[in-house]
């Protein structure tokens, strides 16, 4: 094993303990396999240490700088970064992504996490990754050529035609899901999306399809880049009010409903945005039963 491969394995094993990743070891092997260098451009790199401390520029172009739990800037002018590895490792673990599954990723960036997802689902799986920025999509397409199970689409992820997916993961903050994301979930399919206010902060909404119903919960707080065309100002203010005084993941929700709540549902509504609403968890309900 060469020095860079050893550094990448150390990085993955560090994520195993830090996140922690205890169930799905394919997540750890994926981080140990995918090189980060092609996705962040040539060094030196602008690094933002965990937990979001003062950025610094690496003194050289040694790739080992990349194999730590840090953000790496892609476009500092737009606050675009290659996301925090422990954050996404934890999310992938929570989603129980299995070999052979079909994953839709909204927000490819330059493709790093699409490659990690491809390694998790394996050669028999499929990753469809969508990027609205044409230049980033082109970079992602070139970077992801070694993974034939990945399809890169340069389009607005909220306008993508529905397909059939086991998992949908959104890499940008929204006030409401696109209808296609819910349409595309198969039975037992999972959606993970950051539900955020105009301050880019909020929580990770985790949805599981069960027949015609959708169970909903929070798996933690988030601060993330906003989704183009995925925001509604009135809904953002309602979300801010709903979150006031709460700490993620302690969000009192139990289900996602599509459409507009009826007057009879008014007391059940925790949050409402275009096309959907979240049902308030009943007092004393056991979240583990969902």
Q: Rounded to an integer, what distance in angstroms lies between the CA atom of residue 248 and that of residue 221? A: 5
Residue located via tokens 């955020």: 196
**Which domains are present in the chain?**
84-289 (3.40.50.150)
Give me the pLDDT at residue 145, please: 98
Q: How many CB atoms lie within 10 A of CB 235?
A: 19
Give me the pLDDT at residue 290, please: 44
Residue 168 CA, distance from chain mean position? 9
| CA atoms within a 13 Å half-sphere pointing along the CA-CB vector of 174 | 25
pLDDT tens for each residue of the chain, 290 residues long: 799 999 999 999 999 999 999 999 999 999 999 999 999 999 999 999 877 778 999 999 999 999 999 999 999 888 889 999 999 999 999 999 999 999 999 999 999 999 999 999 999 999 999 999 999 999 999 999 999 999 999 999 998 887 899 999 999 999 999 999 999 999 999 999 999 999 999 999 999 999 999 999 999 999 998 998 899 999 999 999 999 988 877 899 999 999 999 999 999 999 999 999 999 998 765 544 44
Give me the pLDDT at residue 285, please: 58
SS3 of residue 283 by DSSP: coil
Q: Which residues on adjacent β-strands are paired with residue 191?
A: 168, 207
Give me the pLDDT at residue 288, please: 43
Q: Name the strand (E) or helix (H) holding 12.
A: helix 3-18
* Distances in whole angstroms, Cα of residue 65 to Cα of each of 7, 9, 51, 61: 9, 14, 16, 8
* Distances in whole angstroms, Cα of residue 209 to Cα of each of 159, 174, 212: 21, 19, 7
Give me the pLDDT at residue 284, please: 63
Q: Rounded to an integer, what distance in angstroms lies between the CA atom of residue 57 and that of residue 39? A: 17
Give me the pLDDT at residue 229, please: 87
């Amino acid at each position: 094993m060469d020095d860079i491969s050893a550094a990448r394995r150390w990085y993955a094993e560090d994520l195993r303990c830090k996140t922690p990743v205890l169930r799905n070891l394919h997540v750890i092997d994926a981080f140990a396999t995918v090189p980060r260098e092609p996705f962040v451009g040539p060094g030196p790199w602008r690094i933002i240490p965990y937990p979001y401390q003062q950025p610094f520029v690496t003194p050289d172009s040694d790739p080992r700088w990349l194999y730590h739990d840090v953000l790496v800037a892609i476009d500092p002018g737009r606050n675009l970064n290659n996301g925090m590895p422990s954050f996404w490792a934890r999310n992938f673990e929570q989603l129980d992504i299995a070999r052979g599954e079909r994953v839709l990723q909204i927000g490819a960036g330059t493709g790093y996490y699409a490659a990690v997802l491809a390694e998790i689902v394996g050669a028999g799986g499929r990753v469809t990754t969508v990027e609205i920025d044409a230049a980033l999509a082109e970079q992602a397409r070139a970077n992801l050529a070694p993974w034939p199970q990945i399809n890169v689409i340069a389009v607005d992820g909220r306008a993508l035609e529905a397909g059939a997916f086991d998992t949908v993961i959104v890499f940008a903050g929204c006030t409401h899901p696109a209808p296609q994301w819910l349409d595309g979930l198969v039975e037992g399919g999972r959606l993970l999306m950051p539900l955020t206010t105009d301050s880019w902060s909020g929580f990770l909404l985790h949805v599981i399809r069960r027949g015609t119903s959708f169970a909903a919960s929070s798996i933690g707080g988030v601060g993330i880049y906003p989704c183009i065309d995925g925001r509604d100002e009135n809904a953002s203010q309602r979300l801010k009010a709903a979150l006031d005084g709460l700490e993620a993941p302690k969000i009192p929700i139990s289900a996602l409903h599509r459409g507009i709540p009826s007057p009879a549902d008014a007391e059940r509504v925790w949050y409402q945005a275009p096309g959907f609403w979240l049902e308030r968890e009943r007092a004393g309900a056991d979240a583990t039963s969902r």
